[in-house]
Structure 1
Amino acid sequence: MNGDDSLPEGVDRRTFDGRERLATSGPTVYGEPTDGDWRLWDVGRSKLGAMLELGMGTGLDGGESVLYLGAASGTTVSHVADFAGPTYAVEFAPRPVRDLVGVAEDRENLFPLLKDARAPTSYAHVVEADLDVVVQDVATRGQAEVALRNRQFLRGDGKGRLLAAFKARSEDVTAAPETVFERLLDELEEGYEVLETTRLDRFHDDHLGVVARPK
């Protein structure tokens, strides 16, 4: 058990370089420091990590089934797989997927998918229904639309959660981030109830962390 009620089981705070920082237990992936079996979760490289560090109410307890959109080479999704249940990792670009496959070799619950998060029908036959969590970190225009299209995978009993990091500059490089975020949230509310939002600028410029559940 960790001593922080806001953190899921399997995520702890360990001392690295004299500071208490987030950590999960698992094989190293990106050269992160370790403390025994625990490895540093670098929140400067992880939007979900930043959401946890900032105390957002993600609803994560540990052991959840997860669809991760925008997995890249596996930095954050490797930490997710350390504490979650079945974790489906969607990434569009072939080169980072090669690294992601290597990460999955050490994690039997991590399933890499070379797919486009904007086209969930292409992986609907692989990903199980009624998942607990969709994590979204997709730096592309139409981020709210991506969340709406993947809403189909979330459990519909009010307990399913979308944990998204919206990047303003991916939507519009000319508009103020506040304006972009307002538009995205308005669109998101077509299919989700937004429970919490927090700016992630302390760790990630012009990003908004969002916790929502499907309507």
Structure 2
Amino acid sequence: MSEPVLPEGVERRSIDGNERLATRGEPVYGEPTDGEWRAWNPNRSKLGAMLELGMDTGLEGGDDETVLYLGAASGTTVSHVADFAGPTYAVEFAARPARDLLEAADSRPRLFPLLKDARKPESYAHVVESDVDVLIQDVATRGQARVALENKRFLAEDGRLLLAVKARSEDVTRDPGEIFAEVRDALSVADGYEILESERLEAYHADHLGIVARPR
């Protein structure tokens, strides 16, 4: 594994006797802490896994970095993002995890939960800025490439897409490698994305692919 490129506000620290990625913030999912620092568990976070694997996410951190996060669930990963980034819009469709997401946002003034469907970006277009720096997607649905393409409207020209592809959400019967190839092809249409890097996340998440891309 190569050394991860870490954004400002993310550090590698010794917590619980282990070297871990960490951010400053209130704990959300029972993760170990050391003072104001909370460990970022890559086994529970696809973005954390991408950083651990040394993928160049393009995340810089800081108050000026805006993020749109699709598939925020109960806030495990997006809470870490809001610890180091600026305004972070967190889209989650299911009501039950959204309640936990709201709790995670209580201590994070830069985290804005949206109970919306990532497949219908028009439903939150009036809230989300039109030039976010980073689009992070971790949704369990068919048509994950289509979701990324439809939400490209929010991404700045020099922005980044950080996509965690779940093969089993597309088709549980097919070879994940075939699905990953199809997703890459679907993203690479003329008005879509240029893929900068992709890597299997098997060390932390079975049948997942991490993709870093930028809009064409």
Q: TM-score with structure 1 length normalisation? A: 0.96
Map 1:48-63 → 2, pairs under 5 A = 48-63=47-62
Aligned to 2:167: 168
Q: CA offsets, 1:43-65, max 9 Å, x none?
A: 10000000000000101110210
Aligned residue in 2 for 1:118:
119
Cα pair distance change 1:140/1:5, threshold 3 Å: closer
User: CA-to-partner distance for each residue in 1:113-160, whole Å, 9 max, x for gaps?
Assistant: 00000000000000011100000000100000000000000001xx20
3-state SS in 2 of match to 1:8: coil
Gaps of 5+ in 1: none
- Matching residue of 1:198: 199
Per-residue CA distance 1:15-37 (angstroms, 9 max, x = gap): 12322110000011111111111
Tell me if structure 1 keeps the 8 A contact 2:4–2:55: no
Q: Which runs of 5+ in 2 are unaligned?
A: none
Secondary structure of the 1:44 match is coil
Matched, 1:148 2:160: no
Rounded to whole Å, the distance in 2 between the matches of 1:173 and 1:28 is 34
The aligned residue for residue 36 of structure 1 is 35
2-structure distance, mates of 1:30, 1:179: 33
Instruction: In structure 2, give the amino acid aligned to 1:124.
Output: A
In structure 2, the partner of 1:210 is 211
Percent identity of equivalent pairs:
70
Aligned positions of 1:71-86 closer than 5 A = 71-86=72-87
CA apart distance, 1:175: 1.0
What is aligned with 2:14? 15
Alignment of 1:27 onto 2:26 = yes
Query: Structure 2: how far apart are the matches of 1:44 and 1:55?
Result: 15
Q: Which residue of 1 aligns with 2:66?
A: 65
Q: In the aligned structure 2, how far is the partner of 1:57 from the partner of 1:211?
A: 8
Counterpart secondary structure, 1:52: helix
**Residue type of the partner of 2:55?**
M
